[in-house]
Amino acid sequence: MSGNKLSTTNINASCEISQPEPKTPSVKELEEILHSGKTSCNHADEVWPDLFLGDMFLAHDRYSLWKMGITHVLNAAHGKMCCKGSHDFYGTTVDYYGVPADDLPNFDLSKYFYSASEFIHKAMTSSGAKLFVHCAVGVSRSASLVLAYLMIYHQFSLVDAIKKVKEHRWIFPNRGFLKQLQTLDMKLQEERSLQ
């Protein structure tokens, strides 16, 4: 009978579950995901309820934005030659936020991830609000900020955020931005695993 008796110490030791290390795909794997799915985009595409991602062409067309019911604009190319949007340009009917980002792999866009996400979140939780996020083409800078928002406020992984946006619009953040989003993804995964 004593031969059939199991030691609870050994059972507990063998059943310990270690937390997996946060995993995020490589830049090459992310680019493969970005190359798949939707391969086109319009001047604006609704990528999340009442959140539109688009280009400078529409950003400069106040009448079309008014017809769409846009109440907030996030310009991810603020102050750049092609994207001169400002509070003065949109007037008092639109809440404006500008991020002076360059679409270069060595530009540190990550320092704007949380402030831009907070602006997006406040707009998305305002009654009747519609937000237009843009840069020059609407596929790299502005797309990266929308991805960061989905990761920070909606607990999406980077891959899931990319797939969600790509259901509605072609996007392709540059490699530097992808690396910064990878870092954010790992940080958020780690924070959530400790909760």
Which two tokens mark 186?
């790992």
What gap in Å lies between CA 137 and CA 56, rounded to an integer?
Answer: 6
What gap in Å lies between CA 131 and CA 180, rounded to an integer?
Answer: 24
Catalytic pick among 15, 41, 83, 135: 135
Strands 72-75 and 131-134: parallel
Residue type, 172: F
Residue type, 79: G
Is position 83 annotated as part of the catalytic site? no
Q: DSSP character for 100?
A: B
Residue type, 27: V
Residue type, 66: W
CB–CB of 181/29 below 8 Å? no
Burial state string for 22-39 with b = 16 or more CB within 10 A and e = fewer than 16: eebbeeeebeeebeeeee
CB–CB of 122/96 below 8 Å? no
Q: Which residues are catalytic?
A: 135
